[in-house]
């Protein structure tokens, strides 16, 4: 579906290359979590994936079409919710009337259902909303567009605890086998219940690209035991928690925060485990 091939990019000669020969394939039917430390290139990557930046070399394609060409058939099937945005001083109904025609599968019924879950008015004055309310409205519109590819940068920033739960409920309702969603975030706890695939990057390196079922079968997340050779340990009220290679038949619920930290700490060990 979305293919990144041999991508190179920099913001200028003085800053050096942020990506060099970077490749990644994203497939339909998956909800991806894109993780990386500050400055690892997550936001830049999603702007390249959506055709908003021009790579120095390489190409990003959606169903074989170069996203940078911004073809109508590509834009019909690609939606980005950036971390920061603003609305014009119009009503939600005016916004929908102006923008929904660009998305052939847009559903007013879907949008109203998502707004109801978010406990938002169906025809709010957009400019008067708080940042969290604006995000809930924009995400409702994005999900109702029913594009093949939906990308969100820090989707839960600005949302309170009940709204984060509502967000997860909406994503679960909106996902289908012909769609691909990707959430770039530092707030891993907010998305670990809805993603089924994790991608951890550090500039040009893909440190981990695995579905969570595979993670669960290869790594165990549990209290430390005698004889363990942990990739990472972490103190908790229950004692010392560890990330360790899973024993045959051992399966535990992945902890995304611990997985992320273990991958950054020992990328070569993690790569070897998942290459087997």
> Domain residues of the chain, as ranges?
2-203, 211-275
Helix (H) or strand (E) holding 271: helix 267-275
Cα Rg of the chain (Å, integer): 20
pLDDT of residue 61: 96
Q: Which residues contact 194 (CB under 8 A, 6 or more apart)?
A: 31, 168, 171, 172
Of all residues in the chain, what percent are helix, strand and coil, respectively (each to 5)?
A: 35, 30, 35
Q: How far apart are CA 170 and CA 248, in angstroms?
A: 36
Please report, to the nearest 10 degrees, the dihedral formed by the alpha carbons of residues 169, 170, 176, 182 taken in order.
Answer: -100
Please give the Cα distance from 213 to 28 (Å, whole number): 17
Question: In residues, how long is the chain?
Answer: 276
SS3 235: strand
CB-CB contact of 202 with 36 (8 Å): yes
**Alpha carbons 35 and 187: distance in angstroms, whole number:** 9
Rounded CA gap, 93 and 129, in Å?
14
User: Residue 94: in which H helix or E strand, if any?
Assistant: helix 92-99
Contacts of 132 (CB under 8 A, 6+ apart): 158, 159, 160, 163
Half-sphere exposure (CA, 13 Å, Cβ side) for 139? 34
How far, CA to CA in Å, does 37 sit from each of 164, 185, 188, 245?
A: 22, 10, 12, 23
User: What angle (nearest 5°) sits at the alpha carbon of residue 20, between those of residues 12 and 187?
Assistant: 90
CA-closest candidate to residue 134, choices 75, 83, 77: 83
Burial class (CB in 10 A: 0-12, 13-18, 19+), 42: buried
Q: Please, is 84 exposed, middle or buried when counting C-beta atoms within 10 Å of its C-beta (0-12, 13-18, 19+)?
A: exposed
Architecture in CATH of 2-203: 3-Layer(aba) Sandwich (3.40)
> Which residues, at least 6 apart from 109, have a Cβ–Cβ distance to it below 8 Å?
none
Contact of 154 with 184, CB cutoff 8 Å = yes
Reading the chain (276 residues) residue by residue, the pLDDT tens digits are 899 999 999 987 767 788 999 999 999 999 999 999 888 889 999 999 999 999 999 999 999 999 999 999 999 999 999 998 989 999 999 999 999 999 999 999 999 999 999 999 988 899 999 999 999 999 999 999 999 999 999 999 989 999 999 999 999 999 999 999 999 998 898 998 999 999 999 888 999 999 999 999 999 999 999 989 999 999 988 789 999 999 998 999 999 999 999 999 999 999 889 886
């Amino acid at each position: 579906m979305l293919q990144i091939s041999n991508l190179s990019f920099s913001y200028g000669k003085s800053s050096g290359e942020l990506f060099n020969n970077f490749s990644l394939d994203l497939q339909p039917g998956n909800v991806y979590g894109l993780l990386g430390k500050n400055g690892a290139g997550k936001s830049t990557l999603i702007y390249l994936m959506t055709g908003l930046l021009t790579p120095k070399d390489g190409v990003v394609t959606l169903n074989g079409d170069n996203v940078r060409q911004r073809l109508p058939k590509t834009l019909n099937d690609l939606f980005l919710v950036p971390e920061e945005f603003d609305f014009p001083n119009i009503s939600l109904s005016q916004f929908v009337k102006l923008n929904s025609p660009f998305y052939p599968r847009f559903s007013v019924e879907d949008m109203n259902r998502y707004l109801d879950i978010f406990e938002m008015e169906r025809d709010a004055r957009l400019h008067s909303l708080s940042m969290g309310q604006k995000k809930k409205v924009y995400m409702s519109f994005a999900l109702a567009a029913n594009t093949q590819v939906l990308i969100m940068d820090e989707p839960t920033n600005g949302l309170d605890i009940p709204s984060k739960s509502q967000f997860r409920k909406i994503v679960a309702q909106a996902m289908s086998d012909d769609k691909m969603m990707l959430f770039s975030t530092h707030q891993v706890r907010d998305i670990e219940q809805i993603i089924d695939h994790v991608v951890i990057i550090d500039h040009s390196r893909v440190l981990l690209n695995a579905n969570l079922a595979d993670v669960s079968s290869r790594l165990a997340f549990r209290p430390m035991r005698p004889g363990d050779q942990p990739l990472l340990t972490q103190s908790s009220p229950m004692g010392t928690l560890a990330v360790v290679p899973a024993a045959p038949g051992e399966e535990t619920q992945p902890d995304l925060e611990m997985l992320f930290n273990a991958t950054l700490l020992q990328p070569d060990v993690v790569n070897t485990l998942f290459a087997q």
